[in-house]
């Protein structure tokens, strides 16, 4: 079974995608061998009514993906009353975690409000996913250029939040990077990475070597990316069976179990 | 050396086993079929972003990865270290010698593509003759220097290639922020292609921003497009097939900076007919290369 930790519901603002309706997404993922998918919402990128975004996400997961789609609501610490939204994600929607989009919401990972958010999430036992990017900046709309988020401030932050469970999504620009700041993050036992934007010949093997075979999880960034990209990366890595199984399922299951 | 189809299929089967097909992902039962269903040729590859010291060692790494995904053949272009914006004639020859060495290591898996530069026209024509006319290479490009490809210096090079019916792979990008100095765009390629309707061009990367690139080249029939070297954004190949027809779309990867996996996924994952996938993954490239392969007595 595959646990896909990085899928998105609803419509990407700039393009129609095969699978951008919840039923179509679930059907396609099941056909491709996925047994569970952790879903954020594309609506969260631009909508200010984030409460409505999370309501629709939770409802769609219940209606179209019961026991299959796991909703990860969004909290934007630059919006008023965001602490209440975190509470709703946890207590009302029963979500195991939240997904953040710093690039689209106008803050860096050095922002004090992010520190507060991560601290609250950790105290609630919520997992936090941070999408470091969503799209190659070179191909973005000229009306909306969103650079990838720099994870280096996490080097100071993560040691102060040992109970936090953090999953960095779409870390293509940074995952496996060897600068001292990023290296410190990659070695923290409570920080996981997906591999949707990992690239290059032997890229996945390098990522596993640099970080840890126990802290890389399967993520496709579907439907923005073709799902087969992540799948073929695993197939072409030539991994031992136990490592492949951990990547497909075991690591994500362990990460989720803490929720 | 003639291509031994049985040997290739045997290698693919080994790749399937190495990839662990009967694995925990039981729902992927259909996936192995892709390895045998298609004859996959990759039009765009480099030896760069690999750690091995020699061209022979690097191509061994690439072939190992090709086997795992059932890729039959690579068209190998220049590139071993940092990008050279203004190659000297000597650098051009060094790059081509590396490609020749790599192709010689796996003659049944790799064809070379000659590195030329419009900065040095006469030397480029001589290099074309050394590597293609009188050598084993079968393609031109990836043409990538900081002189845009609508420059008249390209004309004699294109005429030379067209005389032998050798296709030309031209780098193109359309970056939202700004292209690199002298970096070619699909618009530049359209200008060049219209000046040379007898030549066959391949639009490298489809301009990166593919929704623009596809429409820019749409009504220029001697330009095919290739899908390498950008993120595997869904909808790319579907739009290319819709606007250009499956006959003008060609699979390429741009390894080693990119992976075979992410780029093949654009075709394997596309919601298009199987017959279109067969053409894109190899059929179209073999058709474009057929004249030069036939002239050289090489297998296709």
The label of the residue with tokens 């009188």 reads B134
Other CB atoms within 10 Å distance of the CB of residue A1? 14
Closest CA of chain A from B117, distance in Å: 25
Q: Does A241 touch chain B (CB under 8 A)?
A: yes
Whether residue B64 is predicted with pLDDT greater than 80 in this model: the reply is yes
Name which of B44, B235, B262, B270 to mutate to probe chain A: the one with the most chain A Cβ atoms within 10 A of its Cβ: B262
What is the reported pLDDT for B2?
A: 37
More confidently predicted of A5 and B146? A5
**Average pLDDT of every residue of chain A:** 95
Chain B residues lying within 8 Å of A139, measured CB to CB? 175-176, 208-210, 230-231, 233
Contact A235 B19 (CB under 8 A): yes
Which residues is A98 bridged to in the sheet? A73, A128
pLDDT category at A182 given cuts 50, 70, 90 is confident
Chain A residues lying within 8 Å of B52, measured CB to CB? none
- What is the rounded average pLDDT of the residues A55-64? 98
From B209, B232, B235, residue closest to A229, measured CB to CB: B232
What is the reported pLDDT for B225?
A: 98
What is the reported pLDDT for A186?
A: 87
What is the reported pLDDT for B239?
A: 98
What is the reported pLDDT for A160?
A: 93
- What is the rounded average pLDDT of the residues B86-109? 97
What is the reported pLDDT for B18?
A: 34
Contact B234 A17 (CB under 8 A): yes
From B28, B62, B262, residue closest to A229, measured CB to CB: B262
Cα B283 to Cα B272: distance, rounded to the nearest angstrom: 15
Chain A residues lying within 8 Å of B31, measured CB to CB? 33, 231, 235
Q: Which CATH number is A247's domain given?
A: 3.20.20.140
**Average pLDDT of every residue of chain B:** 90
Q: Does A46 touch chain B (CB under 8 A)?
A: no
pLDDT category at A224 given cuts 50, 70, 90 is very high
More confidently predicted of A179 and B94? B94
The dihedral over CA atoms of B283, A18, A37, B32, expressed in degrees to the nearest 10, equals -20
Closest CA of chain B from A35, distance in Å: 9
Contact A15 B26 (CB under 8 A): no
Name which of A28, A228, A238 to mutate to probe chain B: the one with the most chain B Cβ atoms within 10 A of its Cβ: A228
Whether residue A54 is predicted with pLDDT greater than 80 in this model: the reply is yes
Contact A199 B68 (CB under 8 A): no
Closest CA of chain A from B133, distance in Å: 32
pLDDT category at B25 given cuts 50, 70, 90 is very low
Q: Does A197 touch chain B (CB under 8 A)?
A: yes
What is the reported pLDDT for B1?
A: 36
- What is the rounded average pLDDT of the residues A223-228? 98
- What is the rounded average pLDDT of the residues B194-222? 98
Q: Does A224 touch chain B (CB under 8 A)?
A: yes
Percent of chain A with pLDDT over 90: 93
- What is the rounded average pLDDT of the residues B213-228? 98
Chain B residues lying within 8 Å of A31, measured CB to CB? 27
User: What residue of B is the nearest CA neighbor of A225?
Assistant: B233
Q: Does A138 touch chain B (CB under 8 A)?
A: yes
User: What residue of B is the nearest CA neighbor of A29?
Assistant: B27
Q: What is the domain range of residue A103? A: 2-257
Whether residue B11 is predicted with pLDDT greater than 90 in this model: the reply is no
pLDDT category at B29 given cuts 50, 70, 90 is very low
Cα B255 to Cα B48: distance, rounded to the nearest angstrom: 8
Chain B residues lying within 8 Å of A33, measured CB to CB? 25-29, 31
Strand ranges (E), chain A: 2-9, 34-41, 69-74, 97-100, 127-131, 165-169, 191-194, 216-217
Q: What is the domain range of residue B260? A: 5-296
- What is the rounded average pLDDT of the residues A5-31? 97
User: What residue of A is the nearest CA neighbor of B271?
Assistant: A18
Contact A201 B49 (CB under 8 A): yes
Chain A residues lying within 8 Å of B19, measured CB to CB? 235-236, 238
- What is the rounded average pLDDT of the residues A194-202? 95
Q: Domain total for chain A?
A: 1
What is the reported pLDDT for A177?
A: 65
- What is the rounded average pLDDT of the residues A170-192? 80
User: What residue of B is the nearest CA neighbor of A204?
Assistant: B259
- Supply A153's token pair: 């401030």
pLDDT category at A238 given cuts 50, 70, 90 is very high
Whether residue B33 is predicted with pLDDT greater than 90 in this model: the reply is no
pLDDT category at B36 given cuts 50, 70, 90 is low
- What is the rounded average pLDDT of the residues B54-80? 97
Q: Domain total for chain B?
A: 1
Name which of B32, B74, B259, B270 to mutate to probe chain A: the one with the most chain A Cβ atoms within 10 A of its Cβ: B259
Q: Which CATH number is B10's domain given?
A: 3.20.20.140
**Over the stretch B136-191, which tens digit does the pLDDT of each residue have?**
999 999 999 889 999 999 999 999 999 999 999 999 999 999 999 999 999 999 99
What is the reported pLDDT for A211?
A: 92
Chain B residues lying within 8 Å of A8, measured CB to CB? none
- What is the rounded average pLDDT of the residues B215-222? 98
Chain A residues lying within 8 Å of B23, measured CB to CB? 241, 244-245, 248
What is the reported pLDDT for A176?
A: 62
């Amino acid at each position: 079974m595959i646990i896909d930790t990085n899928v998105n519901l609803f419509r990407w603002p700039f393009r129609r995608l095969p699978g951008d309706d919840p039923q179509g997404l679930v059907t396609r993922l099941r056909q491709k061998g996925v047994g569970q998918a952790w879903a954020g919402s594309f609506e969260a990128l631009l909508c200010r009514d984030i409460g409505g975004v999370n309501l629709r996400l939770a409802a769609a997961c219940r209606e179209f993906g019961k026991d299959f789609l796991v909703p990860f609501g969004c909290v934007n610490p630059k919006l008023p009353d965001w602490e209440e939204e975190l509470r709703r994600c946890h207590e009302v929607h029963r979500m195991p975690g939240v997904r953040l989009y710093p690039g689209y919401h106008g803050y860096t990972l050095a922002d004090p409000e992010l520190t507060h958010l991560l601290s609250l999430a950790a105290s609630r036992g919520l997992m936090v996913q941070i999408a470091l990017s969503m799209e190659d900046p070179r191909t973005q709309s000229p009306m909306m250029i969103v650079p990838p988020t720099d994870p280096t401030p996490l080097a100071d932050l993560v040691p102060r939040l040992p109970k936090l469970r953090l999953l960095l999504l779409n870390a293509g620009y940074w995952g496996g990077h060897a600068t001292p700041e990023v290296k410190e993050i990659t070695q923290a036992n409570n920080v996981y990475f997906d591999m949707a934007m990992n690239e290059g010949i032997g890229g996945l093997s390098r990522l596993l070597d640099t970080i840890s075979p126990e802290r890389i999880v399967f993520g496709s960034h579907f439907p923005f990316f073709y799902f087969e990209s992540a799948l073929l990366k695993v197939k072409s890595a030539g991994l031992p069976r136990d490592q492949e199984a951990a990547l497909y399922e075991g690591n994500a299951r362990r990460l989720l179990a803490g929720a | 050396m003639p291509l031994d189809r049985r040997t290739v299929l045997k290698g693919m089967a080994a790749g399937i086993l190495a990839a662990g097909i009967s694995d925990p992902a039981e729902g992927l039962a259909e996936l192995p079929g892709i390895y045998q269903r298609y004859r996959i040729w990759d039009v765009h590859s480099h030896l760069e972003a690999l750690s091995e010291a020699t061209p022979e060692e690097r191509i061994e790494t690439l072939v190992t990865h090709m086997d795992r995904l059932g890729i039959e053949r690579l068209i190998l272009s220049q590139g071993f270290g940092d990008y050279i914006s203004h190659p000297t004639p000597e650098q051009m020859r060094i790059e081509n010698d590396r490609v020749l060495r790599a192709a010689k290591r796996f003659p049944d898996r790799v064809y070379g593509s000659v590195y030329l530069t419009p900065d040095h026209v006469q030397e480029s024509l001589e290099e074309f003759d050394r590597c293609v006319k009188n050598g084993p290479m079968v393609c031109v490009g990836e043409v990538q220097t900081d002189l845009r490809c609508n420059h008249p210096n390209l004309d004699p090079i294109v005429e030379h290639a067209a005389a032998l019916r050798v296709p030309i792979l031209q780098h193109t990008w359309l970056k939202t922020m700004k292209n690199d100095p002298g970096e070619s765009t699909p618009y530049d390629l359209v200008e060049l292609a219209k000046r040379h309707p007898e030549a066959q061009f391949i639009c490298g990367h489809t301009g990166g921003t593919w929704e623009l690139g596809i429409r820019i080249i749409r009504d220029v029939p001697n330009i095919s497009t290739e899908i390498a070297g950008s993120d595997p954004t869904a909808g790319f190949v579907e739009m290319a097939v819709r606007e250009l027809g499956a006959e003008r779309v060609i699979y390429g990867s741009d390894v080693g900076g990119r992976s075979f996996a992410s780029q093949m996924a654009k075709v394997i994952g596309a919601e298009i007919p199987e017959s279109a996938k067969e053409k894109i993954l190899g059929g179209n490239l073999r058709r474009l290369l057929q004249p030069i392969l036939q002239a050289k007595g090489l297998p296709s």
